[in-house]
Amino acid sequence: MIGYIQWKILEISDSSVLIVTQSGLWYDIGINEITFSKLAIQEETKLYVYHHITEGWQSLFGFISLDEKMLFTELLKISGVGGKVALQILSLGEDRLIQSVQNDDKKTIESIKGIGKKMAEKIVLELKDKPFVTSHIAAPGNSPTQATQTTLPATLIENITSTLQNMWYQARDIERTLALVPAHYSSVEEILPFMIRELS
């Protein structure tokens, strides 16, 4: 079983990364937009890997943090959730997904591409009593309806803009959507999924 990979990126897209190790082995690893945004400008990377084995098929899914990998593993236990769907769910962002489960906020989970009302209800039901959800403390005042009230750092805007342009979004649309980012969002993990949903 493969659990961790470190070495150089050969190719990368918003859904997969091709990594070659020191021993010369190549690994094609599934990722989501958040992970893509963190790896897009790196030549070398470290990824926690979930080795998903089903009858007649094997897939690798990569994560920046061990917590994200653990959440992915729990999502796979939900009936009807496969590897690609679990990865898509995590595009919401680890913190926002957990807060949505805590707050019984099914609408936010429904906003994920490919997730309907019944699946959103199932995700909340299955995850709400998990230890990593019940122990997660949400930051005060985090309401997704808040409008942007603070200026985002220039480097953060540049990174997000560059990532989205690489995904073929138009600069004018990106600039317009940046003005809609909630004030409490301050990281790529929060902002990029929000931008992609608004731009889609």
CATH assignment at residue 73:
1.10.150.20
User: Residues with Cβ < 8 Å from 171, sequence gap 6 or more?
Assistant: 161, 165
Residue 59 maps to which CATH number? 2.40.50.140
Q: Which residue has the higher pLDDT, 87 or 146?
A: 87
User: Is residue 195 included in any domain, yes or no?
Assistant: yes
> In angstroms, how far is CA 47 from the centroid of its own chain?
14
This prediction has a pTM of 0.67
User: Is residue 144 included in any domain, yes or no?
Assistant: no
Number of domains in the chain: 3
User: Is residue 145 included in any domain, yes or no?
Assistant: no
- Whether 199 and 174 have beta carbons less than 8 Å apart is answered as yes
User: Is residue 141 included in any domain, yes or no?
Assistant: no
Instruction: Tell me how far apart the alpha carbons of residues 35 and 56 are, in angstroms, rounded to a whole number.
Output: 27
**Phi and psi at residue 152, in whole multiples of 5°?**
-75, 145
pLDDT at 143 over 90: no
Q: For residue 140, name the pLDDT band (cuts at 50, 70, 90).
A: very low
Q: Which residue has the tokens 């997000």?
A: 160
Position 173 scores a pLDDT of 83
Q: For residue 155, name the pLDDT band (cuts at 50, 70, 90).
A: confident
pLDDT at 145 over 50: no
Among 99, 134, 169, identify where a domain stops. 134
- Whether 78 and 172 have beta carbons less than 8 Å apart is answered as no
Residue 118 sits in the same domain as residue 165: no
Position 90 scores a pLDDT of 92
User: Is residue 143 included in any domain, yes or no?
Assistant: no
Instruction: Tell me how far apart the alpha carbons of residues 155 and 190 are, in angstroms, rounded to a whole number.
Output: 15
Cite the beta strand spans of the chain per DSSP E: 4-12, 16-20, 26-30, 44-54, 57-63
Range of the domain at 195: 154-199
